[in-house]
Structure 1
Amino acid sequence: MDRAASLQDGSVANFWSPPAQAAARPHHLGHRERLRERAAAGGTAALPDYEVLELLLFRAIPRGDVKPLAKQLLTRFGSLAGVLGASLEELKTVKGVGAAVALDLKLVHEVGLRAAREAVVRRPVISSWSALLAYVKTALAHEAREQFRVLFLDKKNQLIADEVLGRGTVDHAPVYPREVVRRALELSASAVILLHNHPSGDPTPSSADVDMTRQVVEAARALRIAVHDHLVVGRDGVASLKALGLM
């Protein structure tokens, strides 16, 4: 059969197709292995945030190029900490993030939170202030809604409990001074540290924050419960009302 006849006969058309191995290969093939090798050889600290996020995404997405998704997540939430601090519902609004991916990311955040908490729990909070600040930033800096929490401390200023006493909107969380004092008595706490976040990112205390703090201090003083500080947490840092002379 000559070439012309072959071209007219569809049964041998595959004869003229390029070999499979000569076809262009997707650029991401082998990328996972190369990234893992780089991480193993040089340590993860040397990797940019999007590549660290890629390594996490490999677990829940076993095939395909996840670099675009990693970069999309960083753009959406602003930082690696923002990605891990986002809620399950927020994560799943990003195209390509299903339930498994969102859960893996939240598990990483929970591990970091528990590790930070351990640095606070086993020693006096007042003497491990840097560890406390690291913990509250991990816990609250990227919360999408305002949250009011209280750290309850014993006579040695060691942490008894960290509890959420109010959840609210993007700019307000209900706070009831009597509830703070009541819970402190239930836990036999000798002191408390108040915490809340500003989802706007700016930790600067508002006049309402200052007024509320003074109300809690007055209610606690009557029962000899000390209020060591009120920390306002935002993406831009942590503000201490005590350090600012506002309590």
Structure 2
Amino acid sequence: MAVRDDEAQEVLVALLAIVDPDRAPRWAGSILDHHASLNAALVAREATLLPLVDGEAKAVAMLAAHRRAALFLLREKVAAGPIVATRHELIDYCRQLMAHERDEQVRVFFLNGRRELLAEEVIARGGPEGVTVRPRQILARALEIGACGMVLVHNHPSGDPAPSDLDRRFTRKLAVAAETLGLRLHDHLIVARGGQHCIAID
């Protein structure tokens, strides 16, 4: 269920009121007018938020702390069981973490033989139009930490989670290369503002 605008306003007011209860409603309104959603506001850069809160750095720090705490709780749920791209916990975490980023990034969840989390790392960062990453970067890191499998996640800053032909080719290439090393690419999840898509591993 999507959070309504008035609910987002209430959340922001409650957070910002800790800093200044009198200015909190105006700040919250300005932030939501400027950003498309509560999520977009929480991932916004400090430079874009400061003018909306009268330059009050404590207010921006409060929003950053809230986001960090929320992500920590979501990540705890992800790490509590086997990592599977179709698990709601993983989707929620990755969408909160990556869907509103302006630049594309590739994140890998390295797993043991029971699909339990060994490590979570950003392997590559790019720009709004894409990111460059090679299968050997991912596989070398997997072997280094003794992983048996991986779940790959990347974001589409455009907002459309539909995979490109390049996404599909890269997925297949990585899966084949992993298999030759005794590793397994379990899933490749794409997250965006418009939703998510899991590329099937043949």
> What's the TM-score once normalised by structure 2's chain length?
0.90
Alignment partner, residue 200 of structure 1 = 158
Distance 2:85 2:121 in 1: 21
185 and 89 in structure 1: CA distance in 2 versus 1, 3 angstrom threshold: farther
Gaps of 5+ in 1: 1-44
Q: Is it true that 1:83 corresponds to 2:49 in the alignment?
A: no
Question: Which amino acid is the alignment partner of residue 115 of structure 1?
Answer: L
**Cα 1:93–1:155 shift into 2, 3 Å:** farther
Say whether residues 1:123 and 2:107 are aligned partners: no
Closer, same or farther: CA 71–99 of 1 in aligned 2, 3 Å: same
Q: Tell whether the 8 Å contact from 1:181 to 1:220 is kept in structure 2 after alignment.
A: yes
Query: Whole-Å Cα distance in 2 between the matches of residues 189 and 221 of structure 1?
Result: 13
Aligned equivalents of 1:237, 1:194: Cα separation in 2? 16
C-alpha distance in structure 1 between counterparts of 2:85 and 2:30, whole Å? 40
| Larger-Rg structure | 1
Structure 2 distance, partners of 1:158, 1:139, is 20
- The alignment-based identity, stated in percent, is 34
Name which of 35, 51, 76 aligns with 2:10.
51
CA drift of 1:92 comes to 3.1
Secondary structure of 2:153's match? strand
2:58 — aligned with what?
Answer: 100
- Pick from 103, 109, 112 the counterpart of residue 70 of structure 2: 112
Structure 1 position 210, deviation (Å): 1.2
Q: State the distance in 2 between where 1:128 and 1:214 align.
A: 19
Contact 2:109 2:121 in 1 (8 A): yes
Q: Which amino acid aligns with 1:54?
A: V
Deviation at 1:185, TM superposition (A): 0.4
1:147 correspondence with 2:102: no
Is 1:160 the equivalent of 2:118?
A: yes
Q: What is the DSSP-based 3-state SS (H/G/I as helix, E as strand, rest coil) of the residue aligned with 2:84? A: helix
Q: Which runs of 5+ in 2 are unaligned?
A: none
Deviations 1:77-115 (A, max 9, x none): 211111112233443354525332222111111111110
TM-score in terms of structure 1 length? 0.74
Counterpart of 1:72 in structure 2 is: 30
Conserved 8 A contact 2:83-2:151: no
> 1:90/1:127 Cα in 2 relative to 1: closer, same or farther (>3 Å)?
closer
* Bigger RCO (CA 8 Å, 6+ sep): 2
Task: Summarize the Cα distance change of 1:155–1:139 in structure 2 as closer, same or farther, 3 Å threshold.
Answer: same
The separation in 2 between residues aligned to 1:225 and 1:164, in whole angstroms, is: 19
| AA matched with 1:203 | P
